[in-house]
Amino acid sequence: MDGNGRWAAARGLPRVEGHRRGVEALRRTVRAAGDLGIGYLTIFSFSSENWSRPPSEITDLMGLLRRFIRKDLVELHKSNVRVRIIGERDDLDRDICLLLQEAEDLTRNNDGLTLVVAFNYGARQEIARAARKLAIEVAAGRLSPDDITSEHLGTHLHAPDIPDPDVIIRTSGEQRLSNFLLWQAAYSELVFVPINWPDFDRTAFESAIEEYRRRERRFGGLAANSGS
Ligand code: FPP
């Protein structure tokens, strides 16, 4: 959800206004994803590195998350959305941890869209955490280093049951992953959209999906028409 700050700066508004409009874009995108029959939508809403932002902006972002869960959770539940959270919870305020837990608990049995909120999330941190868990198993003598496979490491990530993303859409014209789902993105198609997140709408979403559909995915194999 990149470009909130630039959207606000272009209009002479404070950054928080960009983030507020970003939450509206999120609501639109969740509705569109449900309508398009998408199974999983993961949003990168606060990275492990975002703690380096000014304290006032961090307070604003935490406030917006609180408000989003308090205001939108019932609606999400009614729409059969299941909410999952990935990221480290240890550094978060206790009331935020409780809200995140409440969102997961309330929507646990919903079988529509799964909305995965990456909050206080960093992919390298996630992989290091998985490696630590494997190291503990090895140290306890329950696992031999020779038995560690990529599948095995994958089971120690935050949400191992969630499929790898088919497509990652980044807004605002930036063309990098910025520590987002590095493990899971091994074969994801990347689509870069040159508009700021607050302007992201159903049309932009659909055209990003269209671009993804035109890609040929080979997963390291050969193209269908590459001959014998
Ligand atoms: C990227 O824009 C956006 C963020 C770092 C924060 C997005 C998070 C929220 C809107 C908080 C609410 C969260 C939920 C789940 C409701 P940027 O600030 O990096 O923009 P810039 O690159 O233009 O400065």
DSSP code of residue 182: T
Where do we find the tokens 């050969």? 222
Q: State the Cα–Cα distance between residues 40 and 114, nearest whole angstrom.
A: 5
- Residue 228: predicted pLDDT: 63
Interval between CA 157 and ligand 1 midpoint (Å): 24
Interval between CA 64 and ligand 1 midpoint (Å): 10
Global pTM value: 0.96
Q: State the Cα–Cα distance between residues 18 and 7, nearest whole angstrom.
A: 6
- Residue 91: predicted pLDDT: 87
Its sign, for the CA torsion 152, 158, 161, 162, is: negative
- Residue 148: predicted pLDDT: 97
Atom number of ligand 1 nearest to Cα 19: 10
* Long-range CB pairs of 169-177, under 8 A, 24+ apart, other chains included: 169/193, 169/205, 169/208, 170/2, 171/1, 171/2, 171/3, 171/195, 171/196, 171/197, 171/200, 172/2, 172/3, 172/6, 172/196, 172/197, 173/3, 174/2, 174/3, 177/123
Taking the chain (228 residues) in runs of 10, the rounded mean pLDDT of each run is 98 98 98 97 97 98 98 98 97 97 98 98 98 98 97 97 98 98 98 98 98 93 77
Q: Which tokens belong to 40?
A: 């999983």
Which residues, judged by CB distance below 6 Å to any ligand atom, belong to the binding site of ligand 1? 1-6, 19, 22-23, 26, 45-46, 50, 61, 64-65, 68, 117, 172
Q: Residue 50 catalytic? A: yes
Atom number of ligand 1 nearest to Cα 20: 10
Angle at 11 between CA 6 and CA 14, to 5 degrees: 70
